[in-house]
Amino acid sequence: MANLIEKLPTIRGRYTPDAPLGAKGWFRCGGTAEVLFKPADFEDLQHFMAKCPSDIPLHVFGALSNSIIRDGGLKGVTIRLGRDFSNITIEGNEVTAGALALDANVATQAAEHGVGGLEFLSGIPGSIGGAVKMNAGCYGTEIKDIMVEAMALDRKGEIHLFKPQDLDMTYRHTSLADDMIVVSAILKGVTEDADTVKKRIHDIKEKREQSQPIREKTGGSTFANPSAQELTKAGLLDTMKVWQLIDQVRGRGLEVGGAQMSIKHCNFMLNTGNATASDLENLGEEIRNRVFEKYGISLRWEIRRVGEFKVD
């Protein structure tokens, strides 16, 4: 570890060796980052990217609300953006948000300025960087529908501006390379009455509270819904949702170690207290095996799983 830091450029921010990572995420379990880098600001990040040797693996996370960090930890450098990346500015109906700005804060601030159309973000507990990477969405709207442009840095520290059509943004998927770091995004809403927008945010929050285990240690939807084509091929109605398939294979409430498929919403996986990252992943794989055996459908993980397995 000390060796890795010696190979890294001098920065104004901070390097922390063997830093807790999984434990900082929504699942509250999993491994550490070999080195965690918190850049002081945009220029510091850009300098780091330009000077970091290209053979050192780089990772970046936002709110860690969609990620399992395997128990053996993450090799290389993990970038956690800081306060300099969480600004939100609003001009007319355009909202510019730093990559670390929380989706919910972006929705709320937009509403306060009478900008509608971003309310769906209030139900997603991640950051704007994570939302761009995952093309996050709910209730019929995705980030691609409101994104004007995202700014990202590549491994040489060069700036790239991406429009949604540059990133092949489809259901919970983008083609953004894993070592591209999103630093900000411009989102566009519509001018509306502030109280009407706030009311819609309130309604979304209530709906979530009723239908999802949002106060638990979870990572949101574990698997993406299969496509209509996959469902039809399996002889199923093309409108079926993944939670229905999980129910059909008796996945609701299923447990592996401290991990459980939520009883309230069976596509949400929970750490019930003492789960390891491998309990979570093994539970997910058990569900995938059962669905594959019964329907021939390979469920696609929506939750990102990264890092090394722990060898005892």
Ligand X SMILES: Cc1cc2nc3c(=O)[nH]c(=O)nc-3n(C[C@H](O)[C@H](O)[C@H](O)COP(=O)(O)OP(=O)(O)OC[C@H]3O[C@@H](n4cnc5c(N)ncnc54)[C@H](O)[C@@H]3O)c2cc1C
Q: Which residues are catalytic?
A: 172, 221, 302
Count Cβ atoms below 10 Å from residue 89 Cβ, excluding itself: 12
Among 96, 108, 122, 127, binds ligand X (CB under 6 A): 127
Phi/psi region, residue 160 (left: phi>0; alpha: psi -120 to 50; beta: rest), is beta
Q: Which stretch binds ligand X (CB under 6 A): 109-117, 124-132, 228-236, 270-278?
A: 124-132
Phi/psi region, residue 76 (left: phi>0; alpha: psi -120 to 50; beta: rest), is left
Among 60, 121, 169, 245, binds ligand X (CB under 6 A): 60
Q: Does 86 bind ligand X (CB under 6 A)?
A: no
The most distant pair of C-alpha atoms in the chain lies apart, rounded to whole Å, by 58
Q: Does 74 bind ligand X (CB under 6 A)?
A: no
Among 39, 98, 117, 125, binds ligand X (CB under 6 A): 125
For residues 29, 1, 80, 123, the Cα torsion angle rounded to the nearest 10 degrees is -20
Q: Which stretch binds ligand X (CB under 6 A): 179-187, 241-249, 257-265, 287-295?
A: 179-187
Residue 118 corresponds to which amino acid?
A: L
Q: Does 243 bind ligand X (CB under 6 A)?
A: no
Among 160, 304, 305, 310, binds ligand X (CB under 6 A): 304
Q: Tokens 């090799």 identify what position?
A: 75
Torsions phi, psi for 90 (to 5 deg): -130, 125
CB of 92 to ligand X, least distance (A): 25
Q: Based on CB atoms, which residue is closest to ligand X, 115 or 183?
A: 183
Q: Based on CB atoms, which residue is closest to ligand X, 3 or 215?
A: 215
Among 138, 148, 224, 234, binds ligand X (CB under 6 A): 138
Query: Kind and range of the H or E element at 141?
Result: strand 141-142
Q: Does 218 bind ligand X (CB under 6 A)?
A: yes
Q: Does 259 bind ligand X (CB under 6 A)?
A: no
Among 30, 117, 129, 226, binds ligand X (CB under 6 A): 129
Residue 165 DSSP code: G
Q: Which two tokens stand for residue 83?
A: 């306060």
Contacts with ligand X by CB under 6 A: the residue count is 33
According to DSSP, the residues that pair with 19 across neighbouring strands are: 33
**In what side-by-side order are the strands of the sheet with 255-256?**
218-221, 268-271, 259-261, 255-256
Q: Does 242 bind ligand X (CB under 6 A)?
A: no
Q: How far is the C-alpha of 183 from the C-alpha of 181, rounded, in Å?
A: 6
For binding to ligand X (CB under 6 A), which residues are involved?
A: 26, 60-67, 99, 123-127, 129-131, 133-134, 136-138, 172, 180-182, 212, 214, 218-220, 304
